[in-house]
Amino acid sequence: MNRNTWGNTLQHTQHPETAFIPSISRQISITPIVKAALVYTINNEALFIDSRKQEKFDWRKNKNAYQRIIHLSDLEDKWDSYNAPKFSKQQIDFALTLYSYLRSYCFARNIDFARTEPFVAPCSDGMILFEWSGKRFPNKQLEIYVPISDKHSCEFLKTEGDSELEGEFHLGEFNLILDWLFNFEY
């Protein structure tokens, strides 16, 4: 559901303080806070994102992957003091889709998402990094790079011991890479 659909939903309700959202099959109450929010649909689930910035985002302290993805939109051209490009809405939406796939994957396999959430960071070359490494993953490391354009595939780098494998993948192949990381074999 995009903002136009959201506006149409509000205009075509009998009670302007409530709305039915088909993607989640629910009637919801509309409050002033929700009216100031952006609405995204990812995998048929609506996400409400408060578009008002209450305080400056701290990239060093905040490690929440979802928040880091959302705040990529705050970065302007040359955000790294060199020539790093601004992140496009399409690229941020794709990173949110990847994040949503990861959450669904963890839920379906009964994996504690809080313990497996990736580190997300902007890259100077314009890509978005999803990284699993460190104490939570002592034997393996995985880096996923979200491309600048949806015309390109995602890239990955798998590291296990002294062995490295890099390549490209499409969203439909993401589960196979996660299976490798989380040691799921069929």
Q: What is the DSSP letter of 81?
A: S
pTM greater than 0.75 (yes/no): no
pLDDT of residue 81: 86
Domain boundaries, the chain: 3-50, 65-182
Over residues 89-148, the pLDDT tens digits come to: 999 999 999 999 999 999 999 999 888 899 999 999 999 999 999 888 888 999 999 998
At CB < 8 A and 24+ separation, what contacts does 144-148 make? 144/98, 144/118, 144/177, 146/91, 146/94, 146/95, 146/98, 147/91, 148/85, 148/88, 148/91
* E strand or H helix that includes residue 8: helix 3-11
Over residues 160-171, the pLDDT tens digits come to: 989 999 999 998
pLDDT of residue 177: 95
